[in-house]
Structure 1
């Protein structure tokens, strides 16, 4: 945390040092404001920061619940597909290899859907500015989402046929196109009798739930935390931080004058103790406001995001193990760097 905010901390140190120097060396005792209005401003800023942090946490927690729902629904889909695609109601029996191929195609297409969704969640939006801050740029040089290092088309090649890839890449919403393909494939299997009609309805219900979860995830991605709240909160915090020295310095100077009656040296130097006190107060207000801004967009690609890449890869591993694939065939989980999952 200290390293993350070190540039702002140095700025606060410079601000208060300039104010104290001006106050001491130019004898500007009149340059002050009373504590009462400053306390009112500080209280208002604290309330606004608290509101922003609460709203940001709600967005992060909702995003985590949505992707938790994707985990459960995906496992359900994999189980249903494996157990419901059978020869029980077919007029012309399919071979075991043909059945396995249909099951694998549906499962792989679902993995492709998760891949397309996580890529869509990582697309930069104009209001996602946290990753452009200096310390966050340093972090992203060390740890970055997998979606930034490969294209969607490259990641889909393993899971889809050439015709499916051509169809999906021609659409604006790739993840929606993949669910359309799933529904059409299920309908074809129902018409063959490879899926019983009741089973078809169950599987369509799972696709409906996936559409719902996808829409919720897209809603968080595409609708930012209201900018009038976020922007004004940022400005209010800086107004408070910049006028705070005008109340702190005179207070420390007054205390120093009282001390001079007992110890002249300490009394003269006491005003300089306002520097660390100011830095601590400014750091607390700024850091809390910055934490709120960092949590506004849970898919932006920062260290505090919901780890959708790790979640999607975990589901893929589960589904492919369910197909009976060996660990050598299944990709390993994305690595954890500095105790951070992406």
Structure 2
């Protein structure tokens, strides 16, 4: 998540330069064939181009609205997880009769958060984070902890070494940790460390964690519908590639009246490139927003959130001298 005022125009231009270069070459080719080779039959009527542009704008607007909604839902999920985690720290400290159980319950929850964020940051084939512009930007601007630190190393402060292998070997470590929490709560209850009401409340909170995890998994594992994605790509690129064929004749006709037909005609290259770049860049922004857990600069900052939860939970246990959550890299927090 970018927490500065905005992305710089230069870095945004560099990020989109590959598509902008393609558009520039396409516009130059169309203008050259029309003005130099005399292929006037290539020109498209301006109303056709305008209709294509209108359709593309609707499609791009629809996609970006949907992808932003996915990002907002992901933020809501992690806001709920944060609230529940704070509550879990409180009840783990205050509900058991003896305070010794609180530390195990809190550490196991921190292990669960770690496993969940590693699951969410695992790459998927449809995500944009693996594409060249995003890989290049990530290599220069920020680091994704889940891609560089092994899961076992991240879990080592919370999970005993004797339990680590079994946890990692299980097909669902997050579910296994919740099951261990439930078992620990039941043992506290049968040992008369929890009253019935407190036992029910802690089990209810575990269910809430499961519900929010499932919501996050749905966003992660079910992409923006591919049928809409291909329609968006086809419409936008059809308009972007055909735009110079409609613009070049308009500029040439303006120049004919002033005797500068060819000179004015070449102005179609920068202007059509600029307009097409606006559409294509907006499409690229939508692609980088639709998957809020992929490890891109526009992700929900789940690592930062988990670090904050850990600090608050350990403070409730009476620990002191805890490190602050990691700061942003180039205004980007993950």
Q: Distance in 2 between matches of 1:243 and 1:61?
A: 35
Q: What's the counterpart of residue 92 of structure 1?
A: none
Q: What's the counterpart of residue 224 of structure 1?
A: 223
Report Cα offsets for 1:57-82 as digits up to 9, x if no partner: 00000000000000000000000110
Q: Secondary structure at the match of 1:228?
A: helix
Contact 1:309 1:334 survives alignment (8 Å): no
Contact 1:230 1:293 survives alignment (8 Å): no
Q: Secondary structure at the match of 1:3?
A: helix
Answer with 1 or 2: which has the greater Rg.
1
Report Cα offsets for 1:216-250 as digits up to 9, x if no partner: 00111111111111122112211111111110001
Paired residues for 1:28-43 under 5 Å: 28-43=39-54
Q: Distance in 1 between matches of 2:44 and 2:292?
A: 40
- The alpha-carbon deviation at position 20 of structure 1 amounts to 1.2
- The alpha-carbon deviation at position 86 of structure 1 amounts to 1.4
Paired residues for 1:126-275 under 5 Å: 126-128=125-127, 130-142=128-140, 143-260=142-259, 266-275=260-269
Paired residues for 1:304-315 under 5 Å: 304-315=298-309
Q: What's the counterpart of residue 328 of structure 2?
A: 336
Q: Secondary structure at the match of 2:15?
A: coil
Q: What's the counterpart of residue 312 of structure 2?
A: 318
Contact 2:23 2:241 survives alignment (8 Å): no
Q: In the comparison of the two structures, how many residue pairs are matched?
A: 322
| TM-score where L is the length of structure 2 | 0.93
- The alpha-carbon deviation at position 192 of structure 1 amounts to 1.1
Q: What's the counterpart of residue 68 of structure 1?
A: 79
Please report the RMSD computed on the Cα atoms of aligned residues, expressed in angstroms. Answer: 1.3
Q: Secondary structure at the match of 1:305?
A: coil
- The alpha-carbon deviation at position 267 of structure 1 amounts to 4.5
Cα distance, 1:267–1:33 mapped onto 2, change above 3 Å: closer
Q: Secondary structure at the match of 1:340?
A: coil
Q: Distance in 2 between matches of 1:268 and 1:279?
A: 18
| TM-score where L is the length of structure 1 | 0.91
